[in-house]
């Protein structure tokens, strides 16, 4: 007995087959499509990068995201920001050109069109958002540290517990954490000290003039290695998962480039697991 396929039946079969294939479409293919750079004419910036044959990136070390290797052996740079920049260059089939920047120039070079992006990691702030757009891939945050043998610090089970009249908290006058400390610990005794050039007021803690002090989660890794007998809050994952004073971190591009920005962000999403793993690697090497 022969089966006659009607045109409508064929159409239904084809539709069913197409739907089945779509549901089976692997995520890798979907991410590959997301990574495809905009076609010529869609993004003036990408057109200019392709024409020049280079992706110009502003570089300035900022651990753990961008590390300069000054030994003369092996790659000159490493870290999550470096991985991401190389992926952009690979997808655009251009070379990566490094443009050294300073803390003063890393944002202005974008408006001046001296670079296509600044990969020296930047914290996203309301002021910076007025002049640049961000591709975010990490965050910075703050921890509180004290002497492990200080009963007041040792009995505190959380950062909240330090907001107490019998706890003295030291901070650097004019430091990044000053405003946050005043808001976060209104009940504690606050001790303002002149900045010593150190990453945190360690002397105040060691001399027992203060029970606790704030430190960014990144320099904490090195401090606890150098100074023995310290404890930290929050202590989960050695303070690396802290959400206190959290600020997103990423690379920056000049504003008003929607197609370019959308593509950069789409690629970053596909690379996020690699970037997270590389940040963990750098932090473990710093310990």
Condensed to tens digits (0 to 9), the pLDDT of residues 182-238 reads 999 999 999 999 987 888 999 999 999 999 999 999 999 999 999 999 999 999 888
Please count the structural domains in the chain: 2
For residue 8, being part of any structural domain is answered with no
* Same domain as 191, residue 64: no
pLDDT higher than 50, residue 79: yes
* Same domain as 263, residue 201: no
Q: Which residue has the higher pLDDT, 97 or 37?
A: 97
Q: What is the pLDDT of residue 32?
A: 52
Tokens encoding 234: 């929050």
For residue 104, being part of any structural domain is answered with yes
Q: What is the pLDDT of residue 282?
A: 93
Q: Determine the structural domain holding residue 204 and report its residue range.
A: 142-239
Q: Which of 270, 234, 264, 263 lies closest to 251, judged by CA?
A: 264
Q: How many CA atoms lie within 13 A of 7 on its CB side?
A: 0
* Same domain as 258, residue 216: no
* Same domain as 115, residue 31: yes
Q: What is the pLDDT of residue 2?
A: 46
- Start-to-end CA span in the chain (Å): 76
For residue 126, being part of any structural domain is answered with yes
* Same domain as 80, residue 212: no
Mean pLDDT over residues 90-97, rounded?
97
What is each CA distance from 51 to 40, 137, 170, in whole angstroms?
10, 28, 54
Q: What is the pLDDT of residue 17?
A: 52
Distance, in Å, from the CA atom of 121 to the CA atom of 106, rounded to the nearest integer, reads 10
Q: Per residue in 115-166, pLDDT tens? A: 999 999 999 999 999 999 999 999 999 999 999 999 999 999 999 999 999 9
* Same domain as 146, residue 119: no
Q: What is the pLDDT of residue 141?
A: 95
pTM: 0.79
CATH number for 42: 3.40.190.10
Least confident of 9-13, 44-48, 66-70, 271-275: 9-13
């Amino acid at each position: 007995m022969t089966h006659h396929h009607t045109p409508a039946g064929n159409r239904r079969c084809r539709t069913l087959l197409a739907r089945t294939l779509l549901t089976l479409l692997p995520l890798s293919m979907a991410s590959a499509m997301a990574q495809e750079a905009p076609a010529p004419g869609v993004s003036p910036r990408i057109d200019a990068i392709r024409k020049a044959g280079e992706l110009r990136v502003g570089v300035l070390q900022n651990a753990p995201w961008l590390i300069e290797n000054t030994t003369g052996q092996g790659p000159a740079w490493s870290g999550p920001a470096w991985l991401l920049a190389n992926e952009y260059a690979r997808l655009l089939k251009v070379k990566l050109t490094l443009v050294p920047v300073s803390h003063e120039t890393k944002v202005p070079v974008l408006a001046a069109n001296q670079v296509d992006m600044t990969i020296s990691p930047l914290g996203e702030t309301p002021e910076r958002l007025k002049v640049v757009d961000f591709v975010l891939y990490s965050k910075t945050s703050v921890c509180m540290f004290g002497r492990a043998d200080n009963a007041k610090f040792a009995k505190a089970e959380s950062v909240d517990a330090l907001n107490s009249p019998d706890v003295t908290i030291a901070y650097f006058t004019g430091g990044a954490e000053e405003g946050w400390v005043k808001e976060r610990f209104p009940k504690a005794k606050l001790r303002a000290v002149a900045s010593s050039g150190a990453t945190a007021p360690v002397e105040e803690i060691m001399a027992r003039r203060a029970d606790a002090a704030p430190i960014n989660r990144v320099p904490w890794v090195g401090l606890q290695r150098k100074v023995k007998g310290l404890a930290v809050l929050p202590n989960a994952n050695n303070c690396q998962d802290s959400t206190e004073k959290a600020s997103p971190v990423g690379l920056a591009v000049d504003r008003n480039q929607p197609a370019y920005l959308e593509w950069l962000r789409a690629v970053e999403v596909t690379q996020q697991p690699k970037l997270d793993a590389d940040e963990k690697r750098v932090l473990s090497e710093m310990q």
